Structure 1
């Protein structure tokens, strides 16, 4: 009760109204099952991928500690496993994307990202902006930046998109300025590298 009361007060201060976050979590992830909008994982994901990624180099020491821990302390290990299993049963979307996603932008830059919020209205034909973009990247770019004054100074995207939008990049005067490695196992929309394109100064009218 103390924890719940403290949570209510803190949320009241920050949200400006009474909000029961725990209830909202239950409604969003269990009753409405909207968490799966961001993808889902098999039941063993937390143990085979989630925790190993977060623990990193501490994983061997964690396993060693679990094995060597005195019996009187194993109740805590049981509590952790039980909590993870219960949490897994309530939520199946990849939280590690949110937990393990540090930001490297610490200055007030104007940026534009593809949006992919879940539909909260129950519209069965709902399609988020990211899906609209990937259904026709070149068409989306031409429609979004129909006027050269709307063009951004930089475009950042996965390598898998480069060939498909190459005509737009050439026509609008963008040049590749950096390549950042991303993964050894590219799949779907995710490429092996991240490309950074910058608009040539002589063509930048912004």
Structure 2
């Protein structure tokens, strides 16, 4: 297939995902990238505790900040563009990674097919997650890796960048780099001293320079990342899973129906190691990574996104070898099963599940703009939801007053520590009485955003508000995350344009006046 057309095909699908994927996945997509970039360029935004403690690198947010700055200079820094343009940028990088995967797998049609239909990559491929950035860089590195024993080292530039931004990437790449050293025809000492060390020093020097500039002090963010998340065990604050979770739940879930050809490939490789040399190296890397990741208590699907290209390579190679002997109808049946098996979770996760907390943001942005332009005041929005349930200033782009329930971990090791969100959910009314002023009414938030599961628990507080919007969020509600996102506006605002978003309030006031 023509290389340009192949790349354009990948680009078309990744750009399409920018518009199709309309759901919330994890907070880091916004709070560790867009929010940081917004603060760098526009001077306001929220920095989470990770940025205050210096465990995150500025490299990825700075790239987005550069895009924001360009938009600001040409006066196109509209909230819609600020939200969508970084996703276009990530989609472009992911498309190139797709193309490099296609080259790596020998330009096979199955590689195009699996890349385009794999639901988890479609779901994440255009998201502004450091994990997506990491996976794209790692895929490119895999395509330049010297599988043919020619001692190419260009892959090290991508590996070094990956490991600086996400130090856990070293777990994936250490086995592969060791394999390179063991199989090299060059002097191992020469390869280490002339290639590995210089490239690593250059990348880490650039990374340290960027981070030290923005943090205002000399800092090595990869070390801070490791210290807080693993040596101090801060990561476990955000949830724990059993040691086998990645093997029995994590990897099968992100592969979905693609797990079947992957599993067949694993069995074939174990039975005939000498026949599948590259597969064997990849399988060893996957196993070592999963074992190492399993030691850590806090586990997430996105943490093993970096393993997706390795697994897909095994799946592609398995399908390619099988299809040589299979009948045409069998190939079509398998292709249709894979397509449908990926399409169903893709549709649900991309368009339905956890959509409300994203869909509410344009409405809040409009509220903020109207208050600034027409009411000549500032909106004051209170998010009574589990912390980081929505994006923040990057999706509103108005310097209004926002407040959410924080959930900072116990980084200073205080005794009997309870984070703010937990305190709120233990006694919502008590927290509201002690933290939200009730007199005068103008001191109260102009708007409150919450899940419907909380509504009945703070009914007294909400007597001061009208419901102005109700947005479906998920079919799987729990005690804190409800089926719907609700937006309330304060009654009897003592400003021009009172209750401008609430027709019900206006009708009630007209009837009382009559």
Same fold (TM over 0.5): yes
Alignment-derived partner of residue 261 in structure 2: 64
Equivalent residue of 2:456, what SS?
A: coil
Alignment-derived partner of residue 204 in structure 1: 493
- Measured in 2, the distance between the counterparts of 1:52 and 1:152 equals 45
- Measured in 1, the distance between the counterparts of 2:283 and 2:390 equals 28
- Equivalences for residues 131-150 of structure 1 within 5 A: 131-146=422-437, 147=439, 148-150=441-443
Alignment-derived partner of residue 13 in structure 1: 213
Alignment-derived partner of residue 105 in structure 1: 395
Larger gyration radius, structure 1 or structure 2: 2
Does the C-alpha gap of structure 1 residues 157 and 47 become closer, same or farther in structure 2, counting only changes over 3 Å? farther
Equivalent residue of 2:415, what SS?
A: coil
Alignment-derived partner of residue 193 in structure 1: 484
**Cα displacement (A) at 1:88:** 3.9
Equivalent residue of 1:107, what SS?
A: coil
Alignment-derived partner of residue 291 in structure 2: 85
- Measured in 2, the distance between the counterparts of 1:134 and 1:47 equals 33
Say if 1:29 and 1:90, in contact at 8 Å, map to a contact too. Answer: no
- Equivalences for residues 156-171 of structure 1 within 5 A: 156-170=449-463
Equivalent residue of 2:416, what SS?
A: coil
Higher relative contact order (Cα pairs below 8 Å, separated by 6+ residues)? 2
One of 158, 176, 181 as aligned partner of 2:472: 181
> Per residue, is there more helix in 1 or in 2?
2
Say if 2:242 and 2:297, in contact at 8 Å, map to a contact too. Answer: no
**Cα displacement (A) at 1:112:** 0.6
Does the C-alpha gap of structure 1 residues 122 and 133 become closer, same or farther in structure 2, counting only changes over 3 Å? same
Superposed CA offset, 1:30-76 (max 9, x none): 222121111112224345555566x5xx7434753675598233223
Say if 2:477 and 2:483, in contact at 8 Å, map to a contact too. Answer: yes
Q: Under a length normalisation based on structure 1, what TM-score does the superposition of the two structures give? A: 0.76
> Per residue, is there more strand in 1 or in 2?
1
- Measured in 2, the distance between the counterparts of 1:43 and 1:66 equals 21
- Measured in 2, the distance between the counterparts of 1:66 and 1:8 equals 41
**Cα displacement (A) at 1:181:** 2.5
Report the count of equivalent residues: 198
- Measured in 2, the distance between the counterparts of 1:44 and 1:102 equals 31
Alignment-derived partner of residue 278 in structure 2: 73
Does the C-alpha gap of structure 1 residues 139 and 96 become closer, same or farther in structure 2, counting only changes over 3 Å? farther
**Cα displacement (A) at 1:91:** 5.3
Superposed CA offset, 1:153-193 (max 9, x none): 221112221111112111x1x12222222333322322222
Segments of 5+ residues of structure 1 without an aligned counterpart are none
Say if 2:474 and 2:482, in contact at 8 Å, map to a contact too. Answer: yes
- Measured in 2, the distance between the counterparts of 1:165 and 1:5 equals 52
Alignment-derived partner of residue 36 in structure 1: 236
Say if 1:38 and 1:93, in contact at 8 Å, map to a contact too. Answer: no
- Measured in 2, the distance between the counterparts of 1:187 and 1:9 equals 45
- Measured in 2, the distance between the counterparts of 1:23 and 1:199 equals 47
**Cα displacement (A) at 1:111:** 1.4
Segments of 5+ residues of structure 2 without an aligned counterpart are 1-196, 267-274, 306-353, 355-388, 496-514
- Measured in 1, the distance between the counterparts of 2:494 and 2:246 equals 49
Deviating above 3 A after TM superposition, structure 1's stretches of 4 or more consecutive aligned residues are 3-7, 44-53, 58-70, 93-97, 99-104
